[in-house]
Amino acid sequence: MAGPRVTRKWRPKMAFVVYAVLLAVLALPIVIVLWFRAIDAASGRMAPAEIGALAGALALTLGIAYVLTRTITGPIHALIARTDEIARGGKKAIVPLESYGTHEIATLSQSFLDLSSKLVDRTDYVRSFAAHVSHELKSPLTAIRGAAELLRDDDATGPMTAEERRNFLDNIIADSERLGRLLARLRELARAELPTEKGETRLSELVAWLAGRFPALGVESRAASDIPLPLPFEAASIVLGNLADNADQHGATRLELIFSADDGLTMLRVRDNGRGISDGNRALIFQPFFSTRREQGGTGMGLDIVRAVLNAHGGTIRLGDASNPGVEFEIRLPG
């Protein structure tokens, strides 16, 4: 669906408005001179002072025109040209202009560059994500189709045993369940990336919720007081629920929440005592669909959902120091 369009009607160009104003400025002394000449019609020639006044007005008008061209119309035309260039060339065309003219145009240009970078990055992410989704869906679909074709082609000349038939049916069910989990995760990711209302959640609420959902984990919190986390409960439960689930699946028996807030920045470190992450996998864990538990049904989308939720609230997540046993994630949120 096409986006909103500007109503098409005649509008004067900025250059026309600017130069019309300048011509009006230039015409004012001319009109004054002609007015006084009409009153004093006896003098047949223009006085030197009158000629000087008109020349000065012309020079001043041309000077103002040059300044306005350099500071307003020129940078705006350059910004329009850069917009078209980015639309054709992508991220390589996202470079600053040579001149901005005024503070307001420089601010507008910076906002435009930031927005363009985000849109191009988003396009690259969607393209990469679509390729990953296609790959992840292809494997179980291929397995289901192969098993179904073998079951369809089974005949009396070489019939399958009951055990073989059951194995094929079990594979179909297992792959169907995997597709269901992938689709459920994709729906969660779609919801996580939608803008959400702001809110706060007490750390004690989250600790109680985690303890009830993951009874095998000893959930502890370390904070100076029950400071609120600047996330609504639904978003906070998605973030911490996925991190706790990863810890539980990797053999952790303790989950520690270390909370601090200072100078408008909230930091939450989530630390477990599980098996940890190998050096080779540390650079891969935030990639969509990367999972060390694929055989056990892992989809590899949990951390991607966590990052999407935090991004929607202006936050970030990164993997902590590898020197500690287990895994530590550091979450930063504004507020």
72 domain residue, yes or no: yes
Same domain membership, residue 316 and residue 238: yes
Encode 106-141: b = buried (16+ Cβ within 10 Å), e = exposed.
eeebeebbeebeeebeeeeeeeeeeebbeebeeebe
Q: Is 321 helix (H, G, I), strand (E, B) or coil?
A: coil
- Whether the CB-CB separation of 15 and 50 falls below 8 Å is answered with no
Tokens in use for 120?
């191009």
- Please tell me the total count of domains within the chain: 3
Average pLDDT over all residues of the chain: 77
* φ and ψ at residue 197, rounded to 5 degrees: -70, 150
pLDDT of 46 reads 63
Contact assessment for residue 223 and residue 260, using Cβ atoms and an 8 Å cutoff: yes
The mean pLDDT value for 122-150 works out to 77
Residue 272's H or E segment, with its range, is strand 265-272
Instruction: Looking at the structure, tell me whether residues 206 and 317 fall in a common domain.
Output: yes
Q: CA distances (Å), 109 to each of 69, 79, 235, in order?
A: 17, 7, 33
Region 311-323: mean pLDDT is 80
The answer to whether residues 182 and 279 belong to one domain is no
Cα(191)–Cα(312) distance, integer angstroms: 10
* pLDDT at residue 6 tops 50: no
Q: Residues 190, 196, 200, 201: is their CA dihedral positive or negative?
A: negative
Do 206 and 302 lie in one domain? The reply is: yes
Kindly report the CATH number assigned to the domain that includes residue 251.
3.30.565.10
Which residue has 């230039």 as its token pair? 26
Is 33 in the same domain as 127? no
Please say which residue of 159, 192, 225 terminates a domain: 192
Same domain, residue pair 62 and 32: yes
Q: 153 and 221: one domain?
A: no
Q: What is the pLDDT of residues 137-160, one digit of tens each?
A: 787 888 888 888 888 887 777 778
- DSSP letters of 12-70? --HHHHHHHHHHHHHHHHHHHHHHHHHHTTT--S--HHHHHHHHHHHHHHHHHHHHHII
163-178 mean pLDDT: 86
Tokens of 202: 């007490």
Whether 185 and 222 map to the same domain: the answer is no
Compute the distance between CA of residue 31 and CA of residue 63 in angstroms, rounded to an integer: 20
Q: Is the pLDDT of residue 9 over 80?
A: no
Lowest mean pLDDT among 127-136, 172-181, 216-225: 127-136
pLDDT at residue 97 greater than cutoff 70? yes
Tell me, yes or no, whether 2 lies in a domain.
no
Could you report the per-residue pLDDT of 257-297, keeping only the tens digit for each?
A: 888 877 778 888 888 888 877 777 777 777 766 666 656 55
CB burial string 224-245: b at 16+ within 10 A, e below = eeeebbbbeeebbbbbbbbbbe
Where residue 5 falls among pLDDT bands split at 50, 70, 90?
Answer: low
Whether residues 226 and 317 fall in one domain: yes
Contact 328, 271 (CB under 8 A): yes
Same domain, 186 and 215: no
Of 101, 133, 156, the last residue of a domain is 101
Paired sense of beta strands 316-319 and 254-262, if any? unpaired
Interacting residues of 97 by C-beta distance below 8 A, sequence separation 6+: 75, 78, 79, 82, 109
* Per-residue pLDDT at 3: 45
With 0-12 CB in 10 A as exposed, 13-18 as middle and 19+ as buried, what is 287? Answer: middle
Co-location of 206 and 319 in the same domain: yes
Coil, helix or strand at residue 191: helix
Place 95 in a pLDDT band, splitting at 50, 70 and 90: confident
Listed residues 67, 101, 135: the one ending a domain: 101
Residue 187, domain extent? 123-192
Question: Does 80 map to a domain?
Answer: yes
pLDDT > 70 in the chain, percent: 79
CA distances to 76, 110, 301 from 67, in Å: 14, 22, 55
Higher pLDDT, 326 or 124: 326
> Among 68-72, 130-134, 250-254, which stretch is predicted with the lowest mean pLDDT?
130-134
Angle at which helices 203-213 and 233-249 cross, to 10°:
40
Same domain for 178 and 277, yes or no, is no
Alpha-carbon span 262 to 6, nearest angstrom: 45
pLDDT over 70 at 331, yes or no: yes
| 143 assigned to some structural domain | yes
